[in-house]
Amino acid sequence: TTSSVQLLKKNKSTITTTTASTIPSGGDGGDSGGFRLRPHPDRWGQRQLGGDSDGPHSLDRMMEELHLQGKTAADIAECLIRTPLHPRKIAAIKSAHAIGCDLRIISDANQFFIEKILEHHGLLGCFSQIVTNPTLVDDEGRLRISPYHDLRSPPHGCSLCPSNMCKGLVIDQIRAAMPQNEKKMFIYLGDGKGDYCPSLKLGEGDHVMPRKEYTLWNRIRSNPTLVKAEIHEWTDGEELEKILLHLISTVDVEGYTKTGRMGKKREERETGMFLDGIIESMPVFAKELVAGGLAGGFAKTVVAPLERIKILFQKTPRGNGASVARIVPYAALHYMTYEQYRRWIILAFPDMGRGPVLDLVAGSLSGGTAVLFTYPLDLVRTKLAYQVVGSSKVNIRGVVNNEQVYRGIRDCFSKTFKESGLRGLYRGVGPSLYGIFPYAGLKFYFYEEMKRHVPEEHKKHIMVKLVCGSVAGLLGQTFTYPLDVVRRQMQVQRLSSSNSAELKGTIETLVMIMQKQGWKQLFSGLSINYLKVVPSVAIGFTVYDVMKSCLRVPSRDVIEVVTDKRHSQPSLHS
């Protein structure tokens, strides 16, 4: 298979990467390094039908025999969708597509096989062109396969390729169709005999990726000087992904998100040009910051009524004016720093891998960072919420003639700072950190872990994201809710009229609650909190993912490969 990747650089030049990858067919199996779409029909035809084989015609006769046995095209499709694909191959294709690469397939398999497998794995939309032997399902349900080149016409004249398809000729056609004033670069992946001709078509500045120990690799290795492109061998899906994304990153790291617009009409490119310019000029961390802030603000707005009800069960509350003002910067920092911590941890501790420990650590650190930067806003929000005019249940100092202690966010900030200084603005930050470290870590862990178990074709569904997010938030909140109650009582204890000594620590406050109100008070409002957390976390994760896509943020796999400059790539040209 061949895929072409187009990248629009800042200087408006075009870089086209043509990737020939092997797409599986009967089993990516163990290493799943390269994927073959058919079980070697030439050899099958020679064994079963006798005589010489002519590629697609022998496979067509195979389909005829299956039809005579009662097997329909639907039966064949059912077999094809069970074809395994190495998860890193899927990730590599999706990553290249997400950053705007124009992927193309050139294969001497056939249209039916390729499309069914790609569609099942959610990859069909990643490719702009599939050049292969055409297929047709007739009225009787039989799959018919024809050669790409009409065998009744004079042959294509290439002694290196089979008569039904010359992939090198297809590469020439792709080059010819591109504007001549634009720079082009090809990356070609392959493993078979038919991939040698297009490899020879590549020039300096291009790249070819032969699968090690396969036909293409052996032919190149026999005389590598014939190939002008830089050669990068690979053995399995994981190595293929690493090398491919690294090569893309060396083209133009800053220009990733500029791609994918080359095939659009001029008027479509010009529409929204100003907005596009703003988006493209933003660094990745800024896009993640914006996506996180919008996700948090939207989620908080949706569940604001339930937030008030929840606090009512913890203490007598009032006011939501500061909620969104606090949640937008908090969520922006929370999501953005999670992504940043992931990258830093992967670079600093590569042996940790990309599993649960990474999610827990990055989630905990990001939660703590967000709390430290936004805690004064949370304190103000809580004080305003607990401020009740003329309440008979709670005697609030300063409530005289039904006047409020604080007139708004700015007034609350000013008075708190004058009374207690910076320390007053961070009163109760201890239990907040104690609570956020496990909560944020568990929340991201549960969300990422559940997504790992979702079939690839369902991962983009909104409902899947909503369910994963809601369950993650619910489980994380259950384990850390008591610390949330302690935190809020510490934040507002100065407002309550009391002759008892002021409680200064987390443990003292926890003991006081259990002695005076019982241990059940530590879980007061938890049930109503579930009603808030389920939509809040679910909406937050979902909107964040959607906004990252709208802002053209590259996938984590791409960014992590781009930022990791320590790994050298294997090459036959050393």
User: Does 415 fall in a domain?
Assistant: yes
User: Does 573 fall in a domain?
Assistant: no
Q: Given a cut of 90, is residue 231 above it in pLDDT?
A: yes
Are 367 and 512 members of one domain?
yes
| Helix/strand/coil for 225 | helix
Instruction: Dump pLDDT digits (tens) for 93-115.
Output: 888 887 778 889 999 889 999 99
Q: Given a cut of 80, is residue 16 above it in pLDDT?
A: no
What does the CA dihedral 385, 389, 392, 398 come to, rounded to 10 degrees? 90
**Mean pLDDT, range 424-441, rounded to an integer:** 82
Query: Please, are residues 200 and 226 in contact by the beta-carbon 8 Å criterion?
Result: yes
Query: Please, are residues 257 and 552 in contact by the beta-carbon 8 Å criterion?
Result: yes
Q: Given a cut of 80, is residue 151 above it in pLDDT?
A: no
Lowest mean pLDDT among 23-37, 104-118, 330-344, 345-359: 23-37
pLDDT for 233 equals: 93
pLDDT for 48 equals: 37
Lowest mean pLDDT among 382-386, 389-393, 437-441, 570-574: 389-393
Are 254 and 313 members of one domain?
no
Residue 327 to residue 301: CA distance in whole angstroms:
10
Instruction: Dump pLDDT digits (tens) for 31-66.
Output: 333 333 344 433 333 333 333 345 677 888 899 999
Residue 264 to residue 429: CA distance in whole angstroms:
52
User: Does 137 fall in a domain?
Assistant: no
Are 95 and 244 members of one domain?
yes
Q: By residue range, what is the domain housing residue 525?
A: 285-563
Q: What kind and span of H or E run contains 549?
A: helix 526-550
Q: Given a cut of 50, is residue 338 above it in pLDDT?
A: yes
Question: Is the C-alpha dihedral spanning 20, 85, 78, 94 positive or negative?
Answer: negative
pLDDT for 23 equals: 40
Q: Is 305 exposed, middle or buried (0-12, 13-18, 19+ CB in 10 A)?
A: exposed
Check residues 393 and 431 and name the one with the higher pLDDT. Answer: 431
pLDDT for 298 equals: 84
Lowest mean pLDDT among 156-160, 179-183, 288-292, 374-378: 179-183
CATH number of the domain within which 308 lies: 1.50.40.10
Query: Please, are residues 248 and 9 in contact by the beta-carbon 8 Å criterion?
Result: no
Instruction: Dump pLDDT digits (tens) for 174-227.
Output: 888 887 776 678 899 999 889 999 999 998 889 999 999 999 999 999 998 999
Are 263 and 291 members of one domain?
no
Residue 59 to residue 56: CA distance in whole angstroms:
5
Length of the chain: 574
Q: 544-552 contacts: CB < 8 A, separation 24 or more?
A: 544/291, 544/292, 544/295, 544/335, 545/465, 547/290, 547/291, 547/294, 547/295, 548/287, 548/288, 548/291, 549/98, 551/279, 551/282, 551/287, 551/290, 551/291, 552/99, 552/100, 552/257, 552/279, 552/280, 552/287
Query: Please, are residues 244 and 96 in contact by the beta-carbon 8 Å criterion?
Result: yes
Lowest mean pLDDT among 20-34, 468-482, 500-514: 20-34
Q: Which of 420, 1, 396, 55 is nearest to 190 (CA)?
A: 1
What does the CA dihedral 169, 175, 176, 177 come to, rounded to 10 degrees? 110
Place 229 in a pLDDT band, splitting at 50, 70 and 90.
very high
User: Does 138 fall in a domain?
Assistant: no
CATH number of the domain within which 231 lies: 3.40.50.1000
User: Does 68 fall in a domain?
Assistant: no
Interhelix angle for 356-386 vs 462-492, to 10°?
50
Q: 504-508 contacts: CB < 8 A, separation 24 or more?
A: 505/430, 506/430, 506/431, 506/434
pLDDT for 27 equals: 40
pTM, whole model, 2 decimals? 0.53
Give the CA count within 13 Å in the CB-facing half-sphere of 555.
17
pLDDT for 498 equals: 52
Are 98 and 170 members of one domain?
yes
Are 207 and 125 members of one domain?
yes
Computed over every residue of the chain, the mean pLDDT equals 74
Are 306 and 261 members of one domain?
no
Check residues 315 and 481 and name the one with the higher pLDDT. Answer: 481
Are 359 and 403 members of one domain?
yes
Residue percentage of the chain with pLDDT more than 90: 16
User: Does 314 fall in a domain?
Assistant: yes
pLDDT for 491 equals: 63
- Within 10 angstroms of residue 574's Cβ, the number of other Cβ atoms is 5
Are 310 and 196 members of one domain?
no
- The type of residue at 108 is D
Residue 505 to residue 493: CA distance in whole angstroms:
12
Place 410 in a pLDDT band, splitting at 50, 70 and 90.
confident
User: Does 70 fall in a domain?
Assistant: no
Are 232 and 327 members of one domain?
no
pLDDT for 389 equals: 38
Q: Given a cut of 80, is residue 413 above it in pLDDT?
A: yes
Query: Please, are residues 362 and 338 in contact by the beta-carbon 8 Å criterion?
Result: yes
Instruction: Dump pLDDT digits (tens) for 439-466.
Output: 899 899 999 888 888 887 777 788 888 8
Residues contacting residue 410 through CB under 8 Å, at least 6 positions apart: none
Residue percentage of the chain with pLDDT more than 70: 70
pLDDT for 20 equals: 38
Please count the structural domains in the chain. 2
Are 232 and 163 members of one domain?
yes
pLDDT for 208 equals: 93
Place 570 in a pLDDT band, splitting at 50, 70 and 90.
very low
pLDDT for 241 equals: 86
User: Does 481 fall in a domain?
Assistant: yes
Are 406 and 289 members of one domain?
yes
Check residues 352 and 152 and name the one with the higher pLDDT. Answer: 352
C-alpha distances (whole Å) from 240 to each of 158, 256, 372, 446 are 29, 19, 41, 29
